[in-house]
Amino acid sequence: MLQRSMMDVHTDGKPLLSHLRRITVLVLLLLLTHHCRGQSQLISSSQPIVANLGGDIILPCYLEPAVNVAGLTLEWTRPDMDPRFVHVMRLGHEMMDKKHELFKGRTSMFTDELKNGNISMKLSNVQLSDQGKYRCFIPKLDRQTFVQLVFGPSSPPVISLSGLDGQSGGVVLQCESAGWYPEPEVLWLDAEGKLLSAGPPETVRGPDDLYTVSSRVTVEKRPSNSFTCRVQHHNTTHTTQTHFHVPDAFFISEIGQVAKAKSSSSPAVGFNQYSLKIFKCNEKLLLEKSRREEELKDLKREMESKETDRKRADAWRNEEKLKETRSQLEIQRTENSQLKREWNNQPHDKKGKEEEPERFVNEEMKNKKAESFERSYNSQLMEPHRTPPSAQTSDSGFNIQVNQPGKYIRLRNTSTEEKHLGQWELHLQVNNKNPVMHRFHQSSYIKAGGFVTMWAAGYGSNDSNTDLKWKDLKPWSSGDSLQFTLYSHTREIQYEHCV
């Protein structure tokens, strides 16, 4: 009675048991869908992998989504061989006991990629016997996929104009392709993809056991005059092809009237000879045009390369100038910091003296100028062999900076040209003392805008900007009067400066 009563309960006009069955089926479907989604699929190439004889090739195989398979057994096999094992990995190590002799020392896997589900295999020094179908298999996951390895050329077939057909007025095209194994087939197609009738291909097997195939077809004038030579394997989808366009002028029908007008007493012979000449001439013109187009492309690439090199050189020069400017600024900053430290280290009474009223400073400057003029005049009287005052100049591209504490002097080239100082002399007279002299080395020079720093004896040993030391140069005080004279190797005065 209880069972009967349950059957009598209705929902939307149907028994309750019917609804329970539907719910059970729905739950099973959901569980099955979830289970299938959680399983990774083994993926490989849907197209044949094309190899070159003696080269290396990678047969792709990986799990999607990725799963770490480093601890699993992984198998690469050739089902058509005995033994069938090509490469077997177990716990990250290759098992060699069942491996086929032909593959020993030529296979490897990317062990670092196993954690990412990548179990692709690299095959080195590919041989003709390597062609075939390979199986990638993971026993524990019961997942497998297949990869086809074939041999094919590294370049598409070559189409050339072979001749003229005097009977049909068409053009004979020849297609040739090398590097195939096994023997391929050749197909000719028009612009609409329809097969063209061609004679049997010629096949030659070379010493490397690879095949070279060639085929000829006679084509007549069409609206597009575009044709395709396709070379492919019989049992695989590996295909390579080349498209070719024949100009209208190559067809005899276009030049027939001219040829007949030029023919002699033997119309057929004259026609064919004249047509062949025009054909060869047109072919030569096409080849010349193609050659010139390639030359123009090469010239364009060369010009673009030169322009790139020029821009790089300009950028490098600008960068060098920027570095030099930064270096000079850093030197000036260091010099200013050093002067500031020396100023702060001076006694207070000396600071007070240098901070006297402007009137006192002006008077002192006038006295120094008078003393400088007197020393210059006496120097000219004592050295009559030197260049007369009329030839002397104080604006000849040089400038001297003086360190007032008396530690160094800096000779700067203010011109836009490089100054060579070989065997030049720089004289310095402090107050009324005998001048000291420094003779520059034969190879000495100062770049445009550059300078040379000369330190007094006992200073500058730890300074990075030291160029040379003037051993006879003694330190001077801030109140001393200085006169600099720069002589060239011909004893001409190049620069004078008084401080």
Q: What's the pLDDT tens digit per position in 442-468?
A: 888 888 888 888 888 777 766 656 577
Torsion on CA atoms 427, 431, 434, 440, rounded to nearest 10: -20
pLDDT of residue 258: 42
With b meaning 16 or more CB within 10 Å and e meaning fewer, what string describes 110-126?
Answer: eeeebeebbbbbebeeb
CA distances in angstroms from 464 to 334, 438, 467, listed in the order given:
10, 21, 9
Strand order in the sheet with 49-51: 49-51, 143-151, 132-138, 73-77, 85-90, 93-94
Query: pLDDT grade, residue 376 (50/70/90)?
Result: low
Instruction: Indicate the fold that domain 41-151 takes in CATH.
Output: Immunoglobulin-like (2.60.40)
Note the pLDDT of residue 352: 53
Q: Assign 375 a pLDDT band (cuts: 50, 70, 90).
A: low
What integer pLDDT is reported at residue 6 of this predicted model?
40
Tokens of 465: 């900007």
Q: For the chain, what are the domain ranges?
A: 2-37, 41-151, 158-246, 263-345, 358-498
Given this model, what pLDDT does residue 2 score?
Answer: 39
Query: What gap in Å lies between CA 163 and CA 252, rounded to an integer?
Result: 11
* Averaged pLDDT for residues 76-104: 94
Which has more confidence, 493 or 390? 493
Structure tokens at 326: 């930064």
Rounded Cα distance, 171 and 244, in Å = 12
Left (φ > 0), alpha (ψ -120 to 50) or beta: where does 406 sit?
Answer: left
**Bigger pLDDT: 497 or 395?**
497
In our burial notation (b when 16+ CB lie closer than 10 A, e otherwise), range 418-441 reads ebebeebbbbbbbeeeeeeebebe
Residue 274 reports pLDDT greater than 80: no
Contact 467, 452 (CB under 8 A): yes
283-301 confidence digits (pLDDT tens): 667 677 777 877 888 888 8
For residue 368, pLDDT over 80 is answered with no
Helices 252-262 and 267-345: crossing angle in degrees, nearest 10, is 120
pLDDT at 394 over 60: no
Predicted confidence at residue 302, as pLDDT, reads 82
Q: How is residue 195 annotated by DSSP?
A: B
Fold of 358-498: Immunoglobulin-like (2.60.40)
Those residues with Cβ within 8 angstroms of residue 148's Cβ, 6 or more apart along the chain or in another chain: 48, 49, 132, 133, 134, 236
State yes or no: pLDDT of 405 exceeds 80: no
Mean pLDDT computed over every residue of the chain: 78
Residues 6+ positions from 460 with CB-CB distance below 8 Å = 407, 408, 453, 466, 469
Number of helices and strands in the chain (H, E): 6, 30
Least reliable range by pLDDT among 130-144, 220-234, 475-489: 475-489
pLDDT band at residue 393 using 50, 70 and 90 as cut-offs: very low
Phi and psi of 484, rounded to 5°? -105, 135
pLDDT for the residue 12: 47
- E strands, 366-422, in order: 398-402, 408-413, 419-420
86: left (phi over 0), alpha (psi -120 to 50) or beta: alpha
DSSP secondary-structure letter at 201? P
Q: Which of 136, 135, 106 is nearest to 122 (CA)?
A: 106
User: How far is 283 from 222, CA to CA, in rounded Å?
Assistant: 19
Q: How far apart are the first and last CA of the chain?
A: 132
158-246: CATH superfamily: Immunoglobulins (2.60.40.10)
**Residue 485 has which token pair?**
């004279």
Q: Residue 486: how many CB atoms within 10 A of its CB?
A: 20
Q: What residue type is 71 in one-letter code?
A: G
Cα–Cα distances (Å) from 44 to 39, 59, 77, 226, 384, in that order, read 16, 8, 14, 36, 99
- Model confidence at 381, pLDDT cuts 50, 70, 90, reads very low
Q: How far are the Cα atoms of 118, 135, 198, 284, 295 from residue 67, in angstroms, in the given order?
A: 9, 19, 52, 61, 53
Element (H or E) spanning 3, and its range?
A: helix 2-8
Report residue 343's pLDDT band, with 50, 70 and 90 as the boundaries.
confident
Block residue for tokens 């009329």: 390
More confident site: 246 or 237? 246
The neighbour count for residue 379, using CB atoms within 10 Å, is: 16
| Identical topology for domains 158-246 and 358-498 | yes
Whose tokens are 């061609």? That residue is 198
Q: Label residue 11 by pLDDT band (50, 70, 90).
A: very low
Q: What is the pLDDT of residue 110?
A: 95
Q: Is the pLDDT of residue 328 over 70?
A: yes
**What mean pLDDT is predicted for residues 70-79?**
95
Q: Is the pLDDT of residue 391 over 80?
A: no
Contact 413, 450 (CB under 8 A): yes
b/e sequence 458-482, b meaning 16+ C-beta within 10 Å: ebbeebeeebebbeebebbeeeebb
